[in-house]
A and B are shown apart, each in its own frame.
Chain A
Amino acid sequence: MGKVAFRKIRLFLLPPLTKRFFVRILIIAIAAYLFFSYICLPLQIKGNSMEPTYPSRGINFCWRLRYLFSEPRRHDVVVVRFAGSKVMLLKRVVGLEGEQIEFRHGKLLVDGDPLEEPYVVYPCNWNLPPRKVDKGCVYVVGDNRGMPIENHYFGQASMERIMGGPVW
């Protein structure tokens, strides 16, 4: 019994280099390439605009199928295509199309009502006059509101640029 198990393990770890083995390797390589190039894109987080939810230098994946059959909802974290096919932004959806967004003394107001944001930890004193989210767009902001408003990249993004959501 022990010998059979050992033989099976050895065959699994060191399989004979047959044609079938190479075909299997090729299929796995192609499947992995397609999966990680088009469905689940690896991401390296650079910058602290999503802290503390997503710290800088963290690793994640963009799940491209996240919004295949649904639209981004409020409080969802989304991946926005920024430039080319490799540079993306990780942001949180706070406003949907047609809504009015405003920052008043650090509080985010949607259509004039304050929005509960448990993910915002750092104190904030941002002020931004009201603006309406255009059709086919969502309003995205990072979780780190402790940084000066001038240094934080946020605003309305076209739905066409939403690539998906982070896996975790």
Chain B
Amino acid sequence: MVKSKHLILAFLIVIVGLSAAFLFFPSEEKKVQKRFALLSEHVSKKPGENTFTMANKVKGIGALFAENCNFTVSDYSLSGNYTREEISGIAFRGRGHFSSLRLKFYDSKVSFLERDLARVNLTARLTGKSVYGEQVDETRELICHLKNIEKKWLFSSFEVIEVLKR
């Protein structure tokens, strides 16, 4: 009886230890996925968002990017290299066109090309309502690269996959 009690206690300690390890020492993959969760949170906008929240979110978006980030979006003038400040500016103007916005990521597959370079293939879905009342619902497959700079995974490139090429 005493032996079985000890066994149960040991089992519980192992479970708690493993949970704590996963929680406090996340894997690099989890850290990369966390960046997407943050990007989603910062891009998303609730109706009636106040100026303070907006400024915080735009600042937060800029902080997720490397000093230079490359965007490849076919058929759009958005393609090119942008600095962190330029990205914050685009995010500020872009969010201004919407009264509500929601960005969600799905089906992410993370692979590490080098120790400090991650490649993520995932689906992004942007839904919301423009200030003119138009509904927006866009889904795209993306390939993103993130660089580990000073122990932080930062977005260094975004490519929108062109599924149907005219």
Contacts and interface: CB of A to CB of B under 8 A. Distances in A.
Given A85-B107, A86-B107, A87-B123, A80 B166 contact: no
Contacts of A82: 139, 141, 163
Chain B facing A: main interface SS: strand
A83 interface: yes
Given A83-B140, A86-B106, A86-B107, A128 B122 contact: no
Nearest to A157: B164
Contacts of A91: 164
Interface of A: 80-87, 89, 91, 128, 131, 140, 153-157, 161
Nearest to A87: B139
Interface size class of B (residues with CB under 8 A): 10 to 19
Contacts, number: 43
B151 interface: no
Interface string B125-166: 000000000000001110000000000000000000101111
A91 B166 CA distance: 14
A84 B166 contact: no
Interface of B: 106-107, 122-124, 139-141, 161, 163-166
Residue from B122, B139, B164, B165 having most chain A Cβ neighbours under 10 A: B164
Given A84-B123, A87-B123, A87-B139, A155 B107 contact: no
B166 A89 contact: no
Nearest to B141: A83
A126 to B, nearest CB: 11
11 contacts: A82-B163, A83-B123, A83-B163, A85-B107, A86-B107, A87-B123, A87-B139, A128-B166, A140-B164, A154-B164, A155-B165
